[in-house]
Structure 1
């Protein structure tokens, strides 16, 4: 009892609670992973049953070998030379068993490989489908490198398990089981010797399972971090080179690489103790079986053929353990990978589809925000309770300092996020009651990023309307002022833009994204800093296109460059999530105030 009268220290209780929480979490993760594996294998139940028949037949044929050898020594050989029939029968049976084992295991491997590839294909599809289904909030917190790690290294670990290790280990386990049964039936005392030899092997396997599980989880973690760092560096290589950060990123990558190497070395250290330990236990068991069996042969209580069969059985029993040990390495790595993949698949979108969706019939584009409150995660509240109405067909510009809530409004209107309080309505319908395909058809956002996919210029413009004709694609490009530079490309609209639009400038990418949005012909168009990449001539050209194209649709324009605001019917000045000024651009300039000050500063910058 402690000096505190037997009371447990708070730190001890906290540690126990944390340990208990870790155990519960670990069990939940394991159940989740097993449920995923079960759902992947369930469609292949029939072919799995056929594979089980094949591997059982192969294993039984292999186990029959030592028993046939004992018959040859104790029954067939003493009958020679007078009677060769017993030896011929035993030899024929041995040959038949060998052929059956070979054919069955070969067929089993092909069947198992087909199952493995189908399971991996299903899992790849699930991961890809899930990453597209999840909301923007997930993608803004879950880095692209981690997603790439799920699709590459984690699935590769599962492939190695299913393609190679699992096929061999099932056969090995069955051989071991049937060997133990056959040995016990043939000579129960020798079976007891084998069981005694299993005790230290069981303790060694328990030790290996505990330590390797931790080591492989650590290895998967550092592997993912290495991929994340590489993807992050290569994605931002321009910034890295522009600010001369090569040495810093190299040090960071080297540090993570060393941690990954050390994690692998710890695994090799564990394996370096486990595999020789199993080999030693197996060899010692064979020696004990030989000593006990030899003594019984001398006493006349055990036939020589049976002793030979016993030694073959014991040797054959421990021979697959090395393969099982190698499989366990792959299994631990795959189990850690499966935990991470199952965790990704268990994620739920924060923006959920309505149970009973409401269609937008004859949409006009009226937007209304009623007491909308919102904050990102556990961060501060961005919109404390915004009330805003935008009539159908009106073009509204949102201006204000960084963090005022402009882009947040855009994300709520397009339903990339859901408001934590209040409602966002389109034509009087809460957008949470509108199915995503319908909402995306009528509400479109053009962002500053202007992402282009690999493919032709025409394919990128037609992203929102894949069935659009070439004439419609070219008309959209003309409307935003992109047609002239597109026709100047090597193959015009059939020019491949390469990764991220590497063959066109930033301003040209933005024009193509405008053409893409206008071809989609949405009821509501949101431009979030969408003109920031354009030079002044390009911006004027786009503004002329915007004025004609926005005439019959509702539009929200978010811009720091006030030249874009000039085409708006109405300007809202935001501060800390609240509208502090509201009016036409000219009226707000005449009134004086924050917008007038911003406009004056912009005019001075032009001079």
Structure 2
């Protein structure tokens, strides 16, 4: 069994992704920076106006001149209004940038994940992918909505306050700046520990979402085998893992903020004591001391906000590492750089010395296979489970590429065909017969999006689906519900047949596509197949030999090799494996 795929965290890759997301918004980002700069300047002028009011305005007012203090009060009010207005403008601009970035990232992730091959999706669970698209992007949203705003304001405030403190009194300023030494050490430790903690939280929450998704997807099996209690215990374990990881991250943040506050409080006390002594020695005005003490508070409050940002940043970086890891995955079946055009396929299939395995950890499934399917031939492939039948048709559909050898269509290596030409020429109908939420007509039209209602109905008639569709409450406009749950398994399969027939491919692959049909429905489909498969290449995998008998040619496979090859009549007369399978099938009908 292949182990679930894990993608190694690479911080540099995450930063590169973030840069690519922000790059298209450079102009708006610069404008936002101008707004926040102006906002901080308007905000920081407040304490200077207070100092002026205390040292100039109050003495003047005492002497009977209220004009100076009135100007200081009016200036302070104006700075407050200007600060609020600039803040509002910044939030509008930054909010728009943030939403555009998240929409871009979600679109990139969705588009790229659809291009990744089956091998990736089989090892990287759907629950993990949902975690990347929901929980991880929500975490990044928190950073953009709140964190970046806090970072910019905090940094500008700290820089501005430092300059103003140095200009007011360099002695007191040096006392405050001395606190940077322990804070720098604490910050470095905090960044390292919080990054480790949040990588773990992203992993643990992905486990929770994966287990929840798998349980809901397989709810019938859960209830049929009474797995509710066992599944609840597994979820409790995952929840505990997430809780412990989150608690550890919160504890690390708490310790950092305590250290930050202690250093800030100690600096404030020392500045107050030294400043009081300077005032008493008439080396400093009271207003200047008052302004300086306000600036000390303005200096350390943003540092606490910066600590919160670092916490949010660590969480978002861990999430972005996971997302960037998915985006860094290369499709296992990449598009050719210069595709060979194939506007009109005839349907000739060939395998030349093909060997294939699903991964380096799994055994070889096909080894040195040579096979030629002429255009227009209906080929049936039979054999025991694990013989390599499904692997064979997945290579013909190019869901995988061979490890060695060439798989070609009309003499063109499938690896050289463009995706559009390949999917137009080769269509596969599988046992799952997946239907999307929407009407019956919409699901059939997936085979040919430009088809009108008459074409859709003609395809349904060709496979014997028209009668049951017209009997539905709204006919072709009936909503099939989630996964086609309104229809029976056989009806879903007929809709999938109609979809494939409407696509009119040169090659039609049926992988156990009649397994969900009852006997009367199967017979109707058999009659339709004889008509629809005429003049096109078809590869059929089926355990029901009634389906196999309509083929021109039968392959019997065992352990990845072809053991018998011939027409149904020839193989029945040879007394080999196919004859034995036919005898067993005939006996089962008695």
What TM bracket, shorter-length normalisation?
Answer: over 0.9
Matched with 2:3 is none
Q: CA deviation at 1:194?
A: 0.9
| TM-score in terms of structure 1 length | 0.94
- The answer to which of 38-47 and 75-84 deviates more is 75-84
Query: Are positions 1:496 and 2:479 aligned together?
Result: yes
Matched with 2:128 is 146
Superposed CA RMSD in Å reads 1.5
List runs of 5+ in structure 1 lacking aligned partners: 1-24
Matched with 1:445 is 428
Matched with 1:72 is 53
After superposition, the C-alpha distances for 1:276-321 in whole angstroms (9 at most, x for unaligned) are 2222221111101101111111222112111111111101111223
After superposition, the C-alpha distances for 1:148-184 in whole angstroms (9 at most, x for unaligned) are 0011100110111111222233112211211111111
Matched with 1:29 is 10
Q: CA deviation at 1:322?
A: 2.7
Matched with 1:400 is 383
Matched with 1:575 is 558
Matched with 1:556 is 539
Q: CA deviation at 1:207?
A: 2.3
After superposition, the C-alpha distances for 1:59-101 in whole angstroms (9 at most, x for unaligned) are 1111111122222222332333243343233233322222221
Whether the 8 Å contact between 2:7 and 2:322 is mirrored in structure 1 is no
Q: CA deviation at 1:541?
A: 0.9
After superposition, the C-alpha distances for 1:333-372 in whole angstroms (9 at most, x for unaligned) are 1111111111111111011111111122442111111111
Give runs of aligned pairs for residues 250-399 of structure 1, distance below 5 A. 250-378=232-360, 379-399=362-382
Aligned residues: 583
| TM-score in terms of structure 2 length | 0.96
Q: CA deviation at 1:325?
A: 2.5
CA change 1:387–1:27 in 2 (3 A) is closer
Runs of 4+ in structure 1 off by over 3 angstroms are 25-28, 82-85
Give runs of aligned pairs for residues 465-480 of structure 1, distance below 5 A. 465-480=448-463
SS of the equivalent of 1:418 reads coil
Distance 1:28 1:546 in 2: 50
123, 132, 136: which one aligns with 2:118: 136
List runs of 5+ in structure 2 lacking aligned partners: 1-5
Distance 1:336 1:468 in 2: 46
Q: CA deviation at 1:329?
A: 2.3
Whether the 8 Å contact between 2:7 and 2:325 is mirrored in structure 1 is no
Matched with 1:522 is 505
Distance 1:62 1:166 in 2: 19
Distance 1:311 1:584 in 2: 96
- The answer to which of 71-80 and 541-550 deviates more is 71-80
After superposition, the C-alpha distances for 1:182-223 in whole angstroms (9 at most, x for unaligned) are 111111111101111222222222222122111111111110
SS of the equivalent of 1:376 reads coil
Matched with 1:597 is 580
SS of the equivalent of 2:525 reads helix
Q: CA deviation at 1:28?
A: 7.7
Query: Are positions 1:174 and 2:156 aligned together?
Result: yes
Matched with 2:567 is 584
SS of the equivalent of 2:365 reads strand
